[in-house]
């Protein structure tokens, strides 16, 4: 009797892969789940059959069996900025390596209603856990009020109650940057800070103040920007008018770029008349004139540590954890000893 006809238009299933590779259904399952018990030769046969048939795993069916969607929700703010966008990419890459898909939701305005709505959408998708990359001072309290029922990791802060946290030691990065300026001999150091209520902004202001206090120096001008080059440019014009600082610590490289433009227009030479330090290590920073001294944040490590904590909580139900990444001062040509008066 001839074999029963097959539907040429249906999607291939695991049994089709097993038949093509000449192995059992269980062997195909082991290959799909990266089991070490399959020989390299057999693994290659199964993978070749998958490619030839165009087989795709039925994630919905798998989720019913494992009660896992292998999906992590990522709530992010400021995705158009270098730092946040690179953290997002690092988390995505680490998640992919760990076998997870990332569902992303971006928010412009930080509000209880907007946060809750975005998180509820993640829960409706059946995500296994949520990463919150919104480094705003109100976020931990907002999240504590919500009973999400899945592991949550906040990027930018330490663990808080049920919530895990991963962070770059922003205060240390600021201390290193300002100490570098003090060591060069600067006694009047301005700071162009990020927006109020942002965790990173507050930590960098604290680091700036700590070093000045330790050195017995008065605080230089403190100007608040909004992370953009445009706000750095306006801050640079104000500092040029005041003429009472010989160095500036900018809270990110984008604002440092704006400062550099303003100083150039006003005839202030960097680093001869004004030293300048940023944060983030923009790739373009090394090619500015002069190349920008900055604080490198280690975004790749941040993403990796974030996923390590998430996977640990998913697999072992471990308590909330904190991971801290050390920043690195990168000294280039935008800093020098102050000019002799």
Per domain, the residue ranges of the chain are 14-57, 67-169+299-326, 170-297
Query: pLDDT (tens digit, 9 = 90+) per residue, 64-85?
Result: 455 668 899 999 998 888 888 9
CATH of 67-169+299-326, one of 3.40.50.2300, 3.40.50.970, 3.10.20.90, 3.20.20.70: 3.40.50.2300
Mean pLDDT of the chain: 90
Architecture of the domain whose range is 170-297:
3-Layer(aba) Sandwich (3.40)
User: Would you say how long the chain is, in residues?
Assistant: 341
For residues 178-199, average pLDDT: 97
Looking at residue 61, what is its pLDDT?
53
Query: pLDDT (tens digit, 9 = 90+) per residue, 20-60?
Result: 999 997 898 788 777 778 899 999 999 898 888 887 766 55
Note whether 67-169+299-326 and 170-297 share their fold.
yes
For residues 115-144, average pLDDT: 92
- If one compares 2 and 126, the residue with the highest pLDDT of the two is 126
Burial of 288 (0-12, 13-18, 19+ CB in 10 A): buried
Round to the nearest angstrom and report the end-to-end CA distance of the chain.
Answer: 102
Architecture of the domain whose range is 14-57:
Orthogonal Bundle (1.10)
Looking at residue 170, what is its pLDDT?
97
Q: 53-91 as b/e, with b when 16 or more CB fall inside 10 Å?
A: bebeeeeeeeeeeeeebbbbbbbbbbeebbbbebbbebb
- Strand extents, DSSP E, the chain: 71-77, 101-107, 129-133, 152-155, 164-168, 189-193, 222-224, 247-250, 275-277, 294-296, 322-325, 328-330
pTM of the model: 0.81
């Amino acid at each position: 009797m001839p074999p029963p006809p097959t539907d040429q238009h249906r999607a291939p299933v695991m049994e089709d892969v097993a038949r093509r590779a000449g192995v059992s259904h269980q062997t195909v399952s082991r290959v799909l789940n990266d089991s070490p018990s399959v020989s390299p030769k057999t693994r290659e046969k199964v993978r070749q059959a998958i490619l030839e048939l165009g087989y795709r795993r039925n994630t919905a069916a798998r989720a019913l069996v494992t009660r896992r969607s292998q999906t992590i929700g990522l709530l992010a703010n400021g995705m158009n900025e270098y730092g946040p966008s690179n953290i997002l990419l690092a988390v995505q890459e680490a998640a992919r390596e760990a076998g997870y898909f990332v569902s992303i939701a971006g928010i412009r305005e930080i509000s209880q209603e907007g946060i809750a709505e975005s998180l509820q959408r993640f829960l409706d998708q059946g995500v296994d856990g949520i990463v919150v990359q919104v480094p705003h001072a109100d976020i931990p309290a907002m999240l504590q009020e919500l009973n999400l029922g899945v592991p949550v990791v906040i990027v930018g802060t330490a663990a808080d109650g049920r919530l895990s946290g991963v962070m770059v030691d922003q205060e240390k990065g600021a201390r290193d940057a300002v100490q570098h300026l003090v060591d060069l001999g600067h006694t009047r150091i301005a700071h162009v800070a990020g927006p109020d209520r942002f965790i990173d902004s507050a930590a960098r202001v604290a680091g700036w103040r700590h070093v000045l206090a330790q050195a017995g120096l008065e605080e230089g001008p403190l100007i608040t920007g909004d992370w953009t080059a445009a706000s750095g440019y306006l801050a640079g014009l104000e500092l040029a008018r005041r003429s009472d600082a010989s160095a500036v610590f900018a809270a990110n490289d984008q604002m440092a770029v704006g400062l550099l433009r303003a100083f150039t227009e006003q005839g202030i030479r960097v680093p001869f008349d004004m030293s300048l330090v940023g944060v983030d290590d923009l790739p373009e920073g090394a090619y500015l004139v002069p190349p920008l001294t900055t604080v490198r944040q280690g975004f790749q490590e941040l993403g990796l540590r974030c996923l390590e904590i998430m996977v640990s909580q998913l697999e072992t139900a471990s308590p909330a954890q904190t991971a801290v990444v050390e920043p690195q001062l990168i000294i280039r040509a935008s800093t020098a000893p102050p000019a002799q008066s």
